[in-house]
Structure 1
Amino acid sequence: MSNNILVINCGSSSLKFSLVNSQTGNQPITGLAERLGDSDAILTIKENGQKQVIDIANGSHSQALDALLKQLDEKQQLSTIKAVGHRVVHGGENFTSSIIIDDKVLSAIESCNHLAPLHNPANLIGIKECQKLLNTVPHVAVFDTAFHQTMPKSAYLYPIPYELYEQHGVRRYGFHGTSHRYVSAALAETLNKPLEELNLVSAHLGNGCSATAILKGKSVDTTMGLTPLEGLVMGTRSGDVDPSLHHFLCTQADMTIDEVNNLLNKKSGLLGLSGISNDMRTLDEASQKGDQRATLAINVFCYRLAKQIAALSVSLGRLDGLIFTGGIGENAASIREKVLNQLSVLGFQVDSTHNASAGKDQQGLITSSGSTPAYVVSTDEEWMIAKDTDALVA
């Protein structure tokens, strides 16, 4: 029987997909439907290095999926799909692991919509449309939050009236769980050590950023909170700010609460500090040319990341390694070096040569002999989703 899993990541106006072999991680077909609902909506399919763009003007999620499935049929891949794995951003306290989707599961996901109003409703659209068009195979939900459900109350509760947690679910949930789970397991396999014997901090750094303390394979603390806004400096998100900033901006800058929320989510972070871009590559180039605000944005990003890594290590007792992953974590050697240089208190000493090659030929290791080890590990959330899906439907 085929091991191919169709992985779906549905956004409010987009649909990302991958056909993944759950055993090897090979992804023969990937792509994206974007600008859904608009006149310039398109479906892009990548196969064997070739890109195919299909016009789906004003197309909905359903029409994008229909167009995708027709292409998979023409490529003789539709019949190879064993199951569909869906990325779901928020599972609240309802889900501690991935699960086969039925009506009860759909209702439970919907009950978390208020916790992720920009993401969960879109995830549900993808699930329901896929179920209609691919109704002969099982569907599985894989949650960004599930990995962090092992955090103790001392890590996930806010110091606010307890009844707000009881009545409204106000607590820290954490995100990027699929990525943190994948890279920690991948590193353990690379080192040929049981994951249950390792205490790690994983830093997922992209446009969205989070770091997680992983004690013997389980998340015990993380930087994101009730929403993905808490924690590290990100591409356009502020990360941690004084909670009174909202009130201050509403009263002093005559902003509405929605405007403040938009500011902190979409106009802050690297973009807000630099005034140039949310892309670290652009900022690095500008900094090298002497742009002081680009340099400032990078310095704030690295300092706050180093500070959070040090804080997370408190929950581990012993730090066996630090993982860098995500677009920035895997590719920005200068960022890794700047962060590690600020973590000498934890015994880190960067090896500039190994770091420049992202630890190639060194099992990802980018630190010197005798140093607390730091590694670069490429994340693969799609493969993790495919693995979970395959295991559940086996």
Structure 2
Amino acid sequence: MSILVVNAGSSTVKLGVFDFETLECTARGLLDWAGSKSQATLTLWPQKTEPVRRQIEAPNYRVAVVKALEMLQECLGLWEDSQCGQASAARFRVVGHRLIHGGEEIRRPVLIDERIKEVIRRYRHLAPLHIPAGLEAVSAVEAALPAVPQVGLFDTAFFADIPPAAFLYPVPYEWYTHWGIRRFGFHGTSHAYCTERAAEMLARPLVGLRLVICHLGQGSSATAVRDGVAITNTMGFTPLEGFMMGTRSGTVDPGILLHVLRDKGLSVAELDEILHHRSGLLGISGVSSDFRQVEAAARQGHARAQLALDMYAYRVRAMVGALAVTLGGLDALVFTGGIGENSVWLRGEVCRGLECLGLHLDGSRNASAAPDTDIATAESPVRVLVIHTREDYLIAREARRVVQQQAGQLSAS
């Protein structure tokens, strides 16, 4: 029996297959539209077998995911046949989804039913790039695997215990009581995994451990964690707040937004498009939203590319300092995500100036770092960890726990 993990984004769907008993990953998949609206590429990587790549013709997102799941099951059956020497259908005991927004209602992993789907729909306008994709993926799994239970892990759930002083905005209190406007926080699945992994690497219990975790990728956020519990996250009511990102602006003066709406003739729709898709690294550099391409342009002397990098690092460094003060000190700084795990320059630039917190980076360790590793000097009171985030593993583990718990309750009754 296996666990299927689905991580649905606006232009890609990541798939993972895990053994139900051992939680070992046996296969991975990626469904990628790559700019096409009618065709997607499905790539499957089984363990110890050559990858399989197929083109999928599909009129919409849901149909593409259904076809991808059908092909995945077909390939899993073939791989099992070749390894076992006998016919064996690929069976999924449970499907786990990474979902973005569960509001205040969903505080832990849950079985997905109509009530849960209605909660997700309620917040779809707050994360328009991600929530509709997640709902389509749930619908696709229902079509392809109708008898298999589905479990949702919500990014917002890791931040369920953030105190009111941190989650409320300084606007009329009725905005919260009437409209639900508050800080939620995102990338919770990644931050939760890195919290556990950091404690393992440091050989310390979660109690008493103070972490700042920087998940840096196309979307980026940082979380302050004390005793294994999130204290705050740099994203807010939506994933638009916080760090400068690939195409998202991050935090800007609200007065600027009022100014361009009122005095410069921008419509709300135009401003929405600019803040989500034409800002961040892309907006400043004019080169790309891809950090690697901006780094390459900067090395070639592109001034705006270098400016974009400097702005990005400055904002991350400033927020690390602020979060460390919120925690009353720091035991470890964690870098994760595509940029955090791979950019030597960014890690070095963020850590430069943090010596005042007791953090001392080892330049040679940083230059040769491969996750999971500690890149602080031997004498540094504060450790610097590079961790490969494994959201899919955490989703698989928690999905298994939910169905096992349900089975236990049924047997008890």
| Offset at residue 156 of structure 1 (A) | 0.6
C-alpha distance 106-37 of structure 1, shift in aligned 2 (>3 A): farther
The answer to whether 1:124 aligns with 2:135 is: yes
**Alignment correspondent of 1:15:** 13
Q: How many residue pairs are counted as aligned between the two chains?
A: 390
- CA distance in structure 1 between the partners assigned to 2:207 and 2:50 by the alignment: 38
> Alpha carbons of 1:32 and 1:315: their partners in 2 closer, same or farther (altered >3 Å)?
same
Cα deviation code 1:48-69 (max 9, x no counterpart)? 3413112324254135314422
Which of 332, 335, 345 pairs up with 1:334?
Answer: 345
Structure 2 counterpart of 1:15, which letter?
V
3-state SS of the aligned residue for 2:270? helix
Task: Please name the residue that 1:195 is paired with.
Answer: 206
Query: Sequence identity of aligned pairs in percent?
Result: 39
Residue 165 (structure 1) shift = 0.6
Matches within 5 A, 1:20-169: 20-21=18-19, 23-34=22-33, 38-47=37-46, 48-76=49-77, 79-169=90-180
Letter in 2 for 1:384: L
Name the aligned partner's letter for residue 62 of structure 2.
H
Tell me which residue corresponds to 2:409: none
Conserved? CA contact 1:36–1:42, under 8 Å? no
In the TM superposition, residue 135 of structure 1 has moved relative to its aligned partner by 2.1
The residue identity in structure 2 corresponding to 1:62 is V
Deviation track 1:280-311 (CA, whole Å, cap 9, x = no partner) reads 21122222222211111111111110100111
> Which of 379, 386, 389 does residue 376 from structure 1 map onto?
386
CA gap of 1:67–1:280, structure 2 versus 1, over 3 A, is closer
- The answer to whether the 8 Å contact 2:27/2:44 transfers is no
SS of alignment partner, residue 142 of structure 1: strand
Match of 2:398 in 1: 388
Which residue among 283, 290, 294 is the counterpart of 1:279? 290
Matched, 1:352 2:363: yes
Query: Is the Cα contact below 8 Å between 1:15 and 1:34 reproduced in 2?
Result: no
> Per the alignment, do residues 140 and 374 of structure 1 end up closer, same or farther by CA in structure 2, a change over 3 Å counting?
same
List, as ranges, runs of 4+ consecutive aligned residues in structure 1 with deviation greater than 4 Å: none
Deviation readout 1:71-119 (Å, 9 max, x if unpaired): 4134316533120011111001011111112222222222223433443
What runs of 5+ residues in structure 1 fail to find an aligned partner?
none
Counterpart residue number, 2:376: 367
| Distance (Å, rounded) in 1 between the aligned partners of 2:68 and 2:353 | 50
Question: 1:259-278 maps to which residues of 2 (within 5 A)?
Answer: 259-278=270-289
Cα distance in 1, alignment partners of residues 285 and 378 from structure 2: 36
CA distance in 1: counterparts of 2:145 and 2:165, whole angstroms: 43
Contact 2:16 2:25 in 1 (8 A): no
- Partners of 1:63 and 1:351 in 2: CA distance: 46
CA distance in 1, matches of 2:183, 2:272: 18
Q: Secondary structure at the match of 1:196?
A: coil
Find the aligned partners of 2:32 and 2:94 in 1 and give their Cα distance: 20
Please give the secondary structure, in 1, of the residue aligned with 2:151: strand
CA distance change for structure 1 residues 270 and 114 in 2, over 3 Å: closer, same or farther? closer
Give the residue type in structure 2 aligned to 1:365.
Answer: D
Deviations 1:313-371 (Å, cap 9, x if unpaired)? 122123110000001100101110111012122122110111112266xx611111232
TM-fit CA distance, 1:312? 0.9
- What is the aligned counterpart of 1:307 among 291, 309, 318? 318
Counterpart secondary structure, 1:46: strand
Tell me the SS of whatever aligns to 2:74.
Answer: helix
- Give unpaired runs (5+ residues) of structure 2: 81-88, 405-413
Q: CA deviation at 1:215?
A: 0.6
Deviation of residue 223 (structure 1)?
A: 0.3
TM-score, normalised to structure 1, is 0.93
Structure 1 counterpart of 2:200, which letter?
E
CA contact (8 A) 2:31 2:68 kept: no
